[in-house]
Amino acid sequence: MFDGLAEAAAALGKAFDPPRLEQVVEALVPAIVFKPAGPEGPVAEGSQIGGTPDVPAGFVWPRPTPLADARELTGRANAEMGQEMLAHIEMGLPYAFVAQVDLGEAAKLGDVAANLPSDGRLLFFYDFPTGPWNTGTRSARVIWDTSPTGNLSQATVPDDLAAAARSELDELGDLRPDGKGGTNYGAPRRPMTLAATWRLPHPAALESEELLSSGTADKDGEAETFREDYEEALEAHHDGYTRELWRRQQLLGSPQPEQDDPRLEAVVVSKFGVQHLSREVWKERYPAIKAEAAEWTLLLQLDVGDWMQAEFVEGTVYFVIRKDDLQERHFERVVAVYQQT
């Protein structure tokens, strides 16, 4: 992560010779990151991760659309997890709230936020118990709320969602002796500030392909050495899987995949109506899928462990959207993709 291109060039110049340095700097991608709010305190109706959203009177907390065939979804998991998912689905619980983005704050960052609305808030919700097995639009809800800030107050968690959170904490028992941290149904509120940054694209992200494929003739192992140096630079500058997990919470920019670029999965679900393609079909259709994935963009990247503020929690949720849908503000078309290593 770098505050500017000059800073990036100076820092990366220690790792790369001039010809490669120019390529690496040109590959940097602008993004917005969430930083924990400083001692000056949170901003009312500002950006936050976890907690509950700031909403107008009459706000209805969203719930996933009922499934026509819940057992088809639960059958994607093992038997034990499938039973847990089925119980969750039958309760008809609301989504968990994950993040609030103050769009006015984002707009002040300049060009990096140009594709977002400049007023209101984006409210992000996700269904953690089923989402990992259900890439698509049902697992998430993104609401663009433009209510005047003077009319907002913190939402009250729905009773059934709060009860589910308490039940999960009880089940965790000795794993959470202090009772702190979140659950699949909610997480602690953390006020955040938004900051513009430049990031090295992850090797699995589409944005890195041209950089990492340049010079593939590999004279005397040069390409392999460059890739090793690049991955070391990722870790050194907090663009890999950093221990400071808040650095993985990101708005726009290039995703940091735990597997393949999540936009590829979004295309598969949207175009073919399935979670996964066979190896043969994937190989045959990959060029077209990759080309179509370039028409999608990351909206929000959420590190689940950091959101939940709990140990031994893995995974990342990527909220992705077609670029034209973002331009036309069709946030109901966001596709959520879950990955973990």
**Domains along the sequence of the chain with CATH:** 5-339 (2.30.320.10)
The answer, yes or no, to whether residue 219 has pLDDT greater than 80, is: no
The answer, yes or no, to whether residue 26 has pLDDT greater than 80, is: yes
pLDDT tens-digit series, residues 74-107: 999 999 999 999 999 999 999 999 999 999 999 9
CB within 8 A of 254, min separation 6: which ones? 29, 31, 199, 201, 202, 205, 206, 207, 208, 298
Residue 1's pLDDT band (boundaries 50, 70, 90)? confident
The answer, yes or no, to whether residue 215 has pLDDT greater than 90, is: no
Write down the pTM of the prediction.
Answer: 0.93
Give percent of the chain with pLDDT exceeding 70. 92
Lowest-confidence segment of 10-19, 94-103, 280-289 by average pLDDT: 10-19
The arithmetic mean of pLDDT across residues 212-222, rounded, is 66
CA atoms of 168 and 79, how far apart (whole Å): 19
- Map tokens 């009860």 to a residue: 163
The answer, yes or no, to whether residue 299 has pLDDT greater than 70, is: yes
CA atoms of 45 and 126, how far apart (whole Å): 20
Say what the pLDDT of residue 236 is. Answer: 85
CA atoms of 159 and 32, how far apart (whole Å): 34
The arithmetic mean of pLDDT across residues 58-76, rounded, is 94
What Rg, from alpha-carbon coordinates, does the chain have? 21
Mean of the per-residue pLDDT values of the chain:
91
The alpha-helical segments, DSSP class H, found in the chain are 5-12, 18-27, 70-74, 79-91, 103-107, 159-172, 209-213, 222-236, 262-272, 279-293, 304-308, 323-327
Residue 42's pLDDT band (boundaries 50, 70, 90)? low
Say what the pLDDT of residue 213 is. Answer: 83
Q: Residue 215 burial by CB count (10 A; 0-12/13-18/19+): exposed, middle or buried?
A: middle
- Largest Cα–Cα distance of the chain, in whole Å? 66
Buried b (16+ CB within 10 A) or exposed e, 30-55: bbbbbeebeeeebeebbbbbbbbbbb
pLDDT tens-digit series, residues 266-283: 999 999 999 999 999 999
Percent helix, percent strand, percent coil in the chain, to nearest 5: 40, 20, 40
pLDDT tens-digit series, residues 153-205: 999 999 999 999 999 988 877 666 666 789 999 999 999 999 999 999 999 99
